[in-house]
A and B are shown apart, each in its own frame.
Chain A
Amino acid sequence: MNRAALMVLADGRFPAGGHAHSGGAEAAVAAGRITDAASLEAFCRGRLHTAGLVAAGLAAATAAGGDPLALDDAADARTPVPALRTAARRLGRQMMRAARAAWPSAELDALAAARPRGAHQPVVLGLAARAAGLTPLDAAYAVAYENVSGPATAVVRLLSLDPFDATAVLARLADDLDRLAADAAAAGARYPAEGPRILPAASAPLLDITAEQHAAWPVRLFAS
């Protein structure tokens, strides 16, 4: 039990660059798919059970001692569009800088050397969790929570949504987050013995399509 380290890692103010990304919310707002708290909640629930589940599984498998480079390849195979692979690696590079400062470790150094342009963010976070003495379940929680808190925070800025309403959306997703983190951690625990097929690979076609639309915008508030 190492609760304080989890709070440091999962803190929205942890300097890992997440505030520059909307998790697809900026494109969804522009398309009229997110207009209020209810539509934000639906978007977040869909994102959580697809991209969030995949990311949480990768983080848990890394925290469970899986080979980070193999898991980085598994992340590529689960990310079919370049805009999202680029975003995940940028976030991974930023997470790496913050994690090496917070919890210096030989494993983080080795991954940074092997992937100088950045590994996928959930893999880096899983390794950071290991370095901080956290469990695979902790890593799954941190990734899954960030997966919905990012869009919720972005929509407060994009739509001038009431921050109280955005926080209430996150609170209503808590049961989903609990179940999903447990599922991701269970898959992650089986990864070292069973390999990548055991990890979730849930896809969200609209997130993939709109990520590339968004990347082609000449002017945007968020990087992804």
Chain B
Amino acid sequence: MITAPTTRPSGDTLSAAGLRATARILARTDAQGVTRLPVLDGSGPFALRRLGFPGPQARVCMVGAMSAPLGGDRLAIEATAEAGAQLHLTAAAATVALPGRTGDAATYDVRLTIGDGARLDWLPEPLICAEGSDLWMTTTVELAPTARLVLREEQVLGRTDERTGRLHSRLTVIRDGRTLLDQETAYGPGVPGWDTSAVLGGHRAIGQLLVVGPEYEDAEQRVRLLGGAAPERLDTGGGQGVLAPLTGPAVLATAVAPDALRLRTVLDEAARNLPG
């Protein structure tokens, strides 16, 4: 068995083949309550497009200007919604992790910061791990006490009829200095136990929808089974999931499915059934 490296590649490792790029987005409200974007700085594979007219919410679409991340790349996105701002981020297409020329791993780090009374929606398209790819991803969110977050994360292991690459991902959400959620996923060649009935059970698409906000502080939060996991449907061939409260003002939907389409169906069901 191939042994997976247990630590991510160091940021100091200079990889001649790799690309280094950081996209930065800063949302700030002006005196009229319009969310402005004083910083909208794409680079390398990230082209950022502002959508729609100026209003309370700023909408930005990430347009993949080139194929990325390739092995050896060091990519990052930093998005901040300052107090009172509303920032809605989407992507035009899926992100495909591909092998590089050198066999090095790629890193992709997303950092979201949300101020008091601000709301950030992070709704990219799926991350697809092509055969031979090796990606270390982190998503780190810091929220002020009255900040709101809507975050969707979808991972697809391999393109159609292809074996998966390797993915290590960590999602850490800190609210008011306290860690609300800390989760690692590790899938693909050399990762022990990933393709078992305790973890994925043959599914190839994994997703989460996380919603954080003060309105979930005292709301009655019941658990809801989604897709084929629901007792009246019990269909394990499709997607299935659960929507449940975290310890704190947040709810999280976790879903698995055979493919990206059926995964999105389960996450959309979660979005329609948020408490409150």
Q: A42-B196, A201-B170, A204-B199 are in contact. Are A209 and B182 (CB under 8 A)?
A: no
Task: Give the contact stretch, choosing among A78-86, A94-102, A133-141, A161-169.
Answer: A78-86
Q: B170 to chain A: closest CB distance in Å? A: 7
Task: Give the contact stretch, choosing among B13-21, B43-51, B84-92, B240-248.
Answer: B240-248
Q: A197 to chain B: closest CB distance in Å? A: 7
Task: Give the contact stretch, choosing among B26-34, B107-115, B186-194.
Answer: B186-194
Task: Please name the residue on chain B nearest to A186 by beta carbon.
Answer: B6
Contact B193–A45 (Cβ < 8 Å): yes
Q: B269 to chain A: closest CB distance in Å? A: 13
- Complex interface: chain B residues within 8 A of A51 (CB): 198
Which residues of A in the span 70-95 have a Cβ within 8 Å of any Cβ on B?
73-74, 76-78, 80-83, 85
- Complex interface: chain A residues within 8 A of B245 (CB): 82
Q: B65 to chain A: closest CB distance in Å? A: 32
Q: A176-B192, A209-B242 are in contact. Are A80 and B199 (CB under 8 A)?
A: no
Q: A202-B185, A202-B186, A206-B200 are in contact. Are A81 and B193 (CB under 8 A)?
A: no
How many residues in A have their beta carbons less than 8 Å from beta carbons of B?
A: 45
Task: Please name the residue on chain B nearest to A40 by beta carbon.
Answer: B197
Most buried by A among B181, B199, B203, B229: B199
Q: A78-B182, A206-B256 are in contact. Are A83 and B223 (CB under 8 A)?
A: yes
- Complex interface: chain A residues within 8 A of B242 (CB): 81, 208-209, 212-213
- Complex interface: chain A residues within 8 A of B198 (CB): 24, 28, 42-47, 50-51, 204, 206-207
In the complex, B183 has a CB within 8 A of chain A: yes
Q: Which of A31, A34, A49, A83 contacts B236 (CB 8 A)?
A: A31
Q: A208-B242, A213-B225 are in contact. Are A201 and B182 (CB under 8 A)?
A: yes
DSSP class of B's interface residues: helix, strand, loop or mixed? strand
Contact A45–B196 (Cβ < 8 Å): yes
Task: Please name the residue on chain A nearest to B170 by beta carbon.
Answer: A201
In the complex, B254 has a CB within 8 A of chain A: yes
Q: A45-B193, A207-B198, A212-B225 are in contact. Are A183 and B6 (CB under 8 A)?
A: yes
Contact B201–A206 (Cβ < 8 Å): yes
DSSP class of A's interface residues: helix, strand, loop or mixed? helix
In the complex, A115 has a CB within 8 A of chain B: no
Please, what's the 1-or-0 string for A1-42, where 1 marks a CB less than 8 Å from any CB in chain B? Answer: 000000000000000000000001000100101100001001
Contact B199–A205 (Cβ < 8 Å): yes
- Complex interface: chain A residues within 8 A of B256 (CB): 205-206, 209
Q: What CA separation (Å) do A200 and B185 show in the bound complex?
A: 10
In the complex, A153 has a CB within 8 A of chain B: no
Contact A216–B182 (Cβ < 8 Å): no
In the complex, A105 has a CB within 8 A of chain B: no
In the complex, A118 has a CB within 8 A of chain B: no
- Complex interface: chain B residues within 8 A of A200 (CB): 184
Q: A21 to chain B: closest CB distance in Å? A: 15
Extra A-B contacts (5), CB below 8 Å, given A42-B193, A49-B192:
A46-B193, A73-B178, A73-B179, A200-B184, A213-B242
Sorted nearest first, the 6 A-B pairs with minimum C-beta distance are A46-B196, A46-B198, A33-B197, A49-B193, A46-B193, A76-B247
Chain B residues in the interface with A (C-beta under 8 A): 6, 170, 172, 178-186, 191-194, 196-201, 203, 206, 223, 225, 229, 231, 236, 240-242, 244-247, 252, 254-256
